[in-house]
Structure 1
Amino acid sequence: MSEKYRVELDIFTGPLDLLLYLVRRNELDIVDLPISTLTKQFQEFLEVLKHLDLDLVGDFVVMASTLAEIKSRNVLPSQAEEEIPLEAESNSDPRSDLIHQLLEYKKFKDAANSLQEQAAEWQERYPRLADERPVSSKDPAADRIKEVELWDLVSALGRVLKRKEVDTESKIRYDETPIHKYVDQIGALVREQKVVQFTSLFEGEIIRSKIIGMFLAVLELIRHHGFRAEQIEDHGEIVLQPPEEVDEQAETQESVPPEETEDAPGPE
């Protein structure tokens, strides 16, 4: 993984993760997927991902093609349909393979989330002492967005990009501002205001490449700098908040015993 920050597929987990997110968001039954609805929404997310990194969305394009194929097979009538026995009809459902993959993915993701929750609970009960804490820096690839799903942020970005004023100018302009500049600017704004609405960051911005750069900076702040993203209502506004203040000095003093001084009595 390159040291330079970029949006990669391991961050987005993959197309099955997006499908599972859409199933939960629409409160759908996995074993009876409405392919038409999922196909439309999946393609909308795919368009946003293409703006983020066109070279790294291959798996999502394959899944979009699979959904489109299943959708077409569902709507096309079959002449031999009446001759298929009921038992064979259920097995010939073009959705069956996808449903099986989605159920398997959900099972492993639920298990992973359960283990993660148990680890967090164990950490609260038995916190590490200062000399037990890892010295090396944490692996950025291991970071995950907790409070708000990554797909919620991508969905919010899609709504921003759909605004009529975005890239309406006849001459296309590109923004070459480094991501770290936006990280510093947005980070300072959130620290100052304490609570900042996600969409307010893009008010008045019409250059698509600049909007993408600012979005990547938001991901950087949340994943690597401890900033928080919260969504009070389903599909509602996402708000950004600064990192929680932690008195690390006091925590260290509690975990490290005081050094012995020269005045301290020695052993008899």
Structure 2
Amino acid sequence: MAADAAPDAAVPQVVDHIAVARLYGEPLFQLPQDLYIPPDALEVFLEAFEGPLDLLLYLIRKQNFNILDIPLASVTRQYLAYVDQIRKTNLELASEYLLMAAMLIEIKSRMLLPPKKVAEGEEPEDPRAELVRRLLEYEQIKLAAARLDALPVLGRDFLRAQVVIEQSLTPRFPDVNADELRAAWQDILKRAKLNQHHTITREQLSVREHMSIVLRRLQGRRFALFEDLFELNRGPQVLVVTFIAMLELAREHLLEVTQAEAFAPIYVRLAYQPA
């Protein structure tokens, strides 16, 4: 019995060496006859491209070609080889790449034709110029996207720290000393001085009233000096009205204004004498 048990114990090692696979831990000696493997399950993509320009830029940079002087024959052959591979599995995706392949063939055919005549001193137009411009712009955008993707992103590269701080329910007011109160009060006084209001009132002055005042002052007087008839303490408005009143009285021949000579004193008297 011991001799029979020894070969049985070595069976798993022998089976492990000749088994083609293991299914749930058990050795599988041959593949099932009805095993179906879909074609897509065995596809291997060595490089993933985001579009026709991405593939074309990859072929140029991988072989260190000068992007300003692209060897179209070599690049087009490699491009078509890749298009043939994806056309077998995904015709819809291959249509975008076929359009770029047609553009490459067109540019190559234009380069084989004689260049168009241009004015003297001007260089003939390069059929590759537009394609080079698009490639350079695409490369700049791709590099910028890579730099943006390399920046730290919240949730991917770092997490926002959250700290819970217990706060007292009673609000704490800041301490204020006497010097701060005095400075605040002085600031209020300065601002108050900048906002001052002036109330202007208009004094109602009557020329007729001052005509009567002048006549009353001259009553019973033979002469009066011209300047004695003005009230200097009443302000310039009253002086002007008094002067106008005297002119009106003189115009109505109720006053007589006399002067003996130039620069002599001016006298005023009533033009009539009461009975």
TM-score, with structure 1 as normaliser: 0.39
The structure having more radius of gyration, on CA atoms, is 2
TM-score, with structure 2 as normaliser: 0.38
Structure having greater relative contact order (Cα 8 Å, sep ≥ 6) = 1
The structure in which a higher percent of residues are helix is: 1
